[in-house]
Structure 1
Amino acid sequence: MSRGSVYDVDNKLSFSFRHLDEEQGSSIKEWENASMLGEALKTLCAYSTMTLPEAQRNRFTIYNDFPPANKTDFVHPKHVPPDAQWASMHINGPVCLAGHIVGTIFYIVFLDPKHRFWITKLKGT
């Protein structure tokens, strides 16, 4: 049985913390203390087996632009390029990771425990 090549996985999602902003949302330490970090890592592992279209069918949403001020509690960080294609993924309930996507790499920018990156009405309300 052939194990293939490292180039066979190029179309799967990868993740980067290069643009992480712990001044907004939560810090890694806060997620660790609230027992959310393990769940987030499990979710990232699951998404890393998916292509972008598969992820989009599984609660990974591409917004393109940064949300308007009346739809977010965050501000566009200066260290993130202005043309970033913004997206988010749900972890559990309102807990999300928000960031931007370049190709198949999701740059995690915000640890969002209360779904405040792109504020929407809860379903059924």
Structure 2
Amino acid sequence: MVKRPSKAPLGSSNRKDGTRALQSTNSANNVQNLVVISFSYFIDQDTEYCQSLKTWETLNLLSLMNIAFIQLCKESSVNPQRITKYGHYPEREKTKFPVCPKNLSSSANWSSLRLQGSVRVIGIMDNNIFYVVFLDKDHLFYLSPKKHT
């Protein structure tokens, strides 16, 4: 890997080129309001209810998730458009998942990121951080009534 000699914007020959413009467009307030993705609580396993990263890779869902994450990280955390916030871990009759993992709170702001069709990434939205917990290709986390059937 080639090491860049300076922190100048790409394509610049002078280290000071464009730094003022970058500083003014990336104010601290703008950056703090953007959504950040964390895998610190991710459960990377295949079960009857969730899947591993390896499984999603073989199902060609990993690239779809990465595209959704890129789009999500450009959204404001105040009201991210792609996330459905449930507010708590679903009751037993509303989920095919087992009880809430012991290291996480059932009263946390459990949420889901829709990728396409029934494919979801399940996690917890805390301030501007979306903590990925489960990969749910069959929308089993929070069951909803069938529409138009």
Same fold, TM-score > 0.5, yes or no: yes
Question: Which of the pair is proportionally richer in strand?
Answer: 1
Q: Where does residue 35 of structure 2 map in the other structure?
A: 13
Unaligned runs of 5+ in 1: none
Runs of 4+ in 1 over 6 A off after TM superposition: none
Please tell me the residue identity of whatever aligns with 1:20: F
Unaligned runs of 5+ in 2: 1-17
Structure possessing the higher radius of gyration over alpha carbons: 2
Which protein has greater RCO, CA pairs closer than 8 Å, 6+ apart?
Answer: 1
Give the structure-1-normalised TM-score.
0.89
For residues 90 and 106 of structure 2, the distance between their equivalents in structure 1, rounded to whole angstroms, comes to: 13
The 3 A distance-change label for structure 1 pair 35 and 64 is same
Give the structure-2-normalised TM-score.
0.76
Match runs of 1:1-125 below 5 Å: 2-4=21-23, 5=26, 7=28, 8-23=30-45, 24=47, 25-55=50-80, 58-74=81-97, 75-125=99-149
- In the alignment, is the contact (CA less than 8 A) between 2:111 and 2:125 conserved in 1? yes
Q: How many matched pairs?
A: 123
Identity of aligned residues (%): 29
For residues 78 and 97 of structure 1, the distance between their equivalents in structure 2, rounded to whole angstroms, comes to: 19
For residues 50 and 34 of structure 1, the distance between their equivalents in structure 2, rounded to whole angstroms, comes to: 27
Summarize deviations over 1:5-34 as a string: whole Å, max 9, x none: 462311010111111113450000000010
Please tell me the residue identity of whatever aligns with 1:65: H
